[in-house]
């Protein structure tokens, strides 16, 4: 495989929601843990102790950002594993005490949650998918209506990975707490009460607050790949005394919830990346919010027929998701790529699927809330990042105009 030695200065990368470049400060933090301090953190010798110390520091860093305790952080391979551990882990633990556990989620979750829930259904677990509104935001009252005495888990994404809509996590947490108070207390569990509340917060750290007590969340999934850290590492926050069972088996690493030799360089990089995002968070969110408003304004002026997907205000400041009627997303992604502009049609983990986005389908009112969107309503996601400029946006508009003009000539 040929790998470019030097980045093309003319390329425009607008797929930060899919993957971010490694920040130089993160790379410096990781330096040495692969070639010098490469000991196994479970070993008793000095190299192992130093590796363990590095992980301890990273764990505390992640915990501090979340306002959590260090022992509540479980390192994983990324957001997908964190989501799976939260969902299957809670349900498996609950099955020891509740004969028919019930799960509540939404119809715009990341595939890591939706596909996991489908697997639960195949195991006989009932899952309720609460639909979002046309603005891509779920109503907390609808979540509360879906709760039952046997509900053990509610999983709602913090910020959607495709359309960027930010969900009312605090209000959902409040509704869950209210339900817990009304529900008869279990004689088997004195420390906690179901349902537990999980959120996939993979897209959130760059722009949104993460303190778990203020959000009211019991489990939170994070990924390093979206915050300018190394790929292949993430974390699951698990509130103390939360009943959860392992989904992998082996050693007793990570409280026996995630066995396997810990990847020290990746964990060190993840901790450094998360800390750095907090330093830049407010300033970068404000900068991108201005670019986002410009992006939408120019889009609507130049292409008034477009459809903006998701709420204009309650969304991540780096997300611009639009539909071009009668143009398939794959066509536009490929055409833009040929011009050195890199965007996505939907979540990267589902880009190989023939079906269109289930998120667009959900907000466009398809028959099934988690069905795909019609081909004529496919969407393009432009996700900005630390290196995005106004000049990049202007280049995108020009490129799209050229593509549409070329297509018109072909259709004549």
Residues annotated as catalytic (active site), given as ranges = 349
Q: Say if residues 324 and 299 touch (Cβ distance below 8 Å).
A: no
d(Cα 61, Cα 110) in Å, to the nearest integer? Answer: 26
CB 252 within 8 A of CB 74: no
DSSP 339-356: TTEE-BSS-GGGTT-SS-
Contact 207, 284 (CB under 8 A): yes
Question: Between the CA of residue 105 and those of 11, 43, 169, 218, 306, what are the distances in Å?
Answer: 38, 41, 12, 15, 30
Distance separating alpha carbons of residues 41 and 47, to the nearest angstrom: 8
39 near 48, Cβ under 8 Å? yes
Q: Compute the radius of gyration of the chain from its Cα atoms.
A: 22
For the chain, the helix, strand and coil percentages under 3-state DSSP, each to the nearest 5: 40, 15, 45
- Pairing relation of β-strands 73-76 and 102-106? unpaired
Pairing of strands 151-155, 196-200: parallel
Centre a 10 Å sphere on the Cβ of residue 24 and count the other Cβ atoms it contains: 9
Burial of 241 (0-12, 13-18, 19+ CB in 10 A): exposed
Nearest to 308 by CA among 324, 321, 295, 325: 321
Task: Give the containing element (helix H, strand E) for 400.
Answer: helix 390-411
- How far apart CA 175 and CA 157 sit, in angstroms, is 16
């Amino acid at each position: 495989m040929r790998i470019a030695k030097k980045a093309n200065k003319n390329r425009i990368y607008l797929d930060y929601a899919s993957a971010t470049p490694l920040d130089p400060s993160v790379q410096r933090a990781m330096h040495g843990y692969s070639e010098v301090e490469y000991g196994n953190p479970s070993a008793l010798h000095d190299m192992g102790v130093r590796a363990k110390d590095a992980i301890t520091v990273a764990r505390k860093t992640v915990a501090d950002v979340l306002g959590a305790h260090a022992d509540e952080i479980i390192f994983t391979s990324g957001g997908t594993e964190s989501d799976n551990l939260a969902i299957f882990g809670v349900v498996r633990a609950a099955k020891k005490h509740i004969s028919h556990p019930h799960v509540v989620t939404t119809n715009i979750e990341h595939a890591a949650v939706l596909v996991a829930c489908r697997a639960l259904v195949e195991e006989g677990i009932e899952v309720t998918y609460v639909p979002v509104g046309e603005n891509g935001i779920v109503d907390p009252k609808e979540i509360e209506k879906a709760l039952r005495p046997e509900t053990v888990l509610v999983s709602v994404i913090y910020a959607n990975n495709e359309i960027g809509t930010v969900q009312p996590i605090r209000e959902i947490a409040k509704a869950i707490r209210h339900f817990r108070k009304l529900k008869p207390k279990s004689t088997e569990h004195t420390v906690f009460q179901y349902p537990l509340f999980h959120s996939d917060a993979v897209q959130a750290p760059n722009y949104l607050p993460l303190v778990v007590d203020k959000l009211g969340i019991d489990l939170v999934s994070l990924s390093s790949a979206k915050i300018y850290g190394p790929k292949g590492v993430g974390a699951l926050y698990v509130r103390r005394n939360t009943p959860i069972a392992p989904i992998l088996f082996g050693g007793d690493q990570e409280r026996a919830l995630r066995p396997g030799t810990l990847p020290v360089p990746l964990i060190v990089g993840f901790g450094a990346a998360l800390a750095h995002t907090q330093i830049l968070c407010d300033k970068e969110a404000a900068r991108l919010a201005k670019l986002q408003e410009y992006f939408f304004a120019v889009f609507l002026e130049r292409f008034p027929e477009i459809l903006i997907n998701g709420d204009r205000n309650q969304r991540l400041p780096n997300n611009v998701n639009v539909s071009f009627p009668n143009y398939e997303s794959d066509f536009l992604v490929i055409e833009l790529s040929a011009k050195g502009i890199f965007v996505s049609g939907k979540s990267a983990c589902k880009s190989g699927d023939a079906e269109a986005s289930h998120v667009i389908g959900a907000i466009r009112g398809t028959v099934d809330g988690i069905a795909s969107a019609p081909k004529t309503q496919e969407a393009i996601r432009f996700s900005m990042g630390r290196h995005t400029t106004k000049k990049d946006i202007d280049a995108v508009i020009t490129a799209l105009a050229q593509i549409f003009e070329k297509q018109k000539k072909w259709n004549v």
